[in-house]
């Protein structure tokens, strides 16, 4: 097996910096768009293990990536809680029911991953089988705070007015909500690990919308609650945990202190400075500006060089973008990125 990813996540020596791409299975690939059109509906893709497996594997057939990541959505958990997830064209995810008050929070039931979320573990098992040891498989979930924003707002938001109203006006309910979500995520990720996920990542996409004090209280504390419950070793192999807060560059030391193995960095962060701050404690994953993917192979190579040089010699770097790849990217540029990381990084691992 190509186990660069797992080694790098544990800050062990590798021959090349491993690379994978957030949303590597996605709309920029024509073969993804074809399957997506045939399935008709995004949730059908996620909830049909054969389709989820197929789209997970698509980018690996094209590019020399060092990891697969489960094709799914962070909102499967609130969907399994009964909120009725659907996707409206051009508007992103929506929920039929929202969490409006203390009573709604009280009634929420932590989903059993073996019940309504069984399709996720089934997809993980199938992908592991199909990967056949080629590269490791990453499982993932959303952070409690990020999930809560969608559940309370009913979809995407720019100002998070409703969920922030809850944090300020009914903090007790907000804490109950986050705690239920943390336990749900922990069970869900453990089910992915039991089914074969070899590393797991928690996406805190909206942590950067919070004040420092609220970030620590309502987001980071509940990622900690998850990390504390995760299976960290299986069949003699460590299961590394990656935490990623978009917009969290000010809080890297606190994130690294949760006991996670790696911290995802968005593109705003100076990776060299981040390594000085927390590189002795965790691996770093990131952090190229996704906008660069729309330029050309020459510019992509330059940026790869710069980021690899900023990280410098030694272990503990997993190359990635600082956020998901966008649908407008040509696959050729992705190939250029992946190859550039492998070619240029060799010098930093001698």
Of the listed 4, 16, 36, 128, which one is catalytic? 36
Does residue 100 touch a second copy according to CB under 8 A? Answer: no
CA distance 199 to 241: 6
Known active-site residue 73: yes
Which positions from 227 through 256 interact with a second copy, judged by CB under 8 A?
247, 249-250
Residue 12 per-residue DSSP state: -
CA distance 250 to 282: 16
Stretch that binds a second copy, among 83-91, 134-142, 164-172, 312-320 (CB under 8 A): 164-172
State the binding string over 165-184 for a second copy (x if CB under 8 A, else -).
x--xx---------------
Least Cβ distance, residue 325 to a second copy (angstroms): 11
Of the listed 4, 16, 28, 73, which one is catalytic? 73
Least Cβ distance, residue 215 to a second copy (angstroms): 8
What are 5's two structure tokens? 């990813």
Residue for token pair 């992915």 = 192
Does residue 210 touch a second copy according to CB under 8 A? Answer: yes
SS3 (DSSP) at 155? strand
| Residues 174, 222, 230: CA angle, nearest 5 degrees | 140
What are 212's two structure tokens? 């420092």
Looking at beta carbons only, is 26 or 139 nearer to a second copy?
A: 26
Question: Which residues share a beta bridge with 283?
Answer: 262
State the binding string over 270-289 for a second copy (x if CB under 8 A, else -).
x--x---------------x
CA distance 238 to 231: 9
Q: In Å, how far are 20, 124, 191 from 118, measured between CA atoms?
A: 26, 10, 9
CA distance 57 to 105: 37
Looking at beta carbons only, is 237 or 270 nearer to a second copy?
A: 270
Known active-site residue 36: yes
Active site residues: 23, 27, 36, 73, 150
The footprint of a second copy (CB under 8 A) covers 159-161, 164-165, 168-169, 208-215, 247, 249-250, 267-270, 273, 289-292, 294-296, 299, 303, 306, 322, 326, 328
């Amino acid at each position: 097996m190509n186990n660069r990813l797992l080694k790098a996540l544990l800050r062990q020596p590798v021959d090349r910096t491993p690379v994978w791409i957030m949303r590597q299975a996605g709309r920029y690939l024509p073969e993804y768009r074809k399957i997506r059109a045939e399935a008709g509906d995004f949730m059908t893709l996620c909830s049909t293990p054969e389709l989820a497996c197929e789209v997970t594997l698509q980018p690996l057939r094209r590019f020399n990536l060092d990891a697969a990541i489960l094709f799914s959505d962070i909102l499967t958990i609130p969907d399994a809680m009964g909120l009725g997830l659907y996707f409206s064209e051009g508007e992103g995810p929506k929920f039929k029911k929202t969490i409006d008050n203390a009573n709604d929070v009280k009634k929420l039931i932590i989903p059993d991953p073996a019940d309504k979320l069984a399709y996720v573990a089934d997809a993980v098992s199938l992908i592991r089988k199909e990967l056949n040891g080629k590269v490791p498989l990453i499982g993932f979930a959303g952070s409690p705070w990020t999930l809560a924003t969608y559940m309370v707002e009913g979809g995407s938001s720019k100002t998070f007015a409703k969920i922030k109203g809850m944090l300020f006006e009914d903090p007790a309910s907000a804490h109950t909500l986050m705690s239920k979500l943390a336990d749900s995520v922990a069970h869900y990720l453990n089910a992915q690990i039991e089914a074969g996920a070899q590393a797991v990542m928690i996406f805190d996409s909206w942590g950067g919308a919070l004040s420092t004090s609220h970030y620590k209280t309502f987001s980071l504390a509940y990622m900690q609650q998850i990390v504390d419950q995760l299976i960290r070793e299986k069949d003699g192999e460590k299961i590394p945990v990656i935490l990623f807060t978009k917009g969290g560059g000010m809080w890297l030391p606190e994130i690294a202190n949760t006991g996670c193995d790696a911290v995802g960095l968005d593109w705003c962060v100076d990776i060299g400075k981040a390594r000085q701050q927390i590189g002795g404690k965790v691996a770093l994953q990131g952090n190229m500006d996704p906008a660069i993917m729309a330029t050309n192979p020459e510019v992509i190579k330059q940026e790869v060089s710069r980021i690899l040089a900023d990280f410098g010699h030694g272990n503990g770097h997993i190359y990635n973008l600082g956020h998901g790849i966008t649908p407008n990217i040509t696959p050729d540029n992705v190939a250029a990125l992946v190859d550039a990381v492998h070619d240029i990084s060799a010098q930093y691992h001698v």
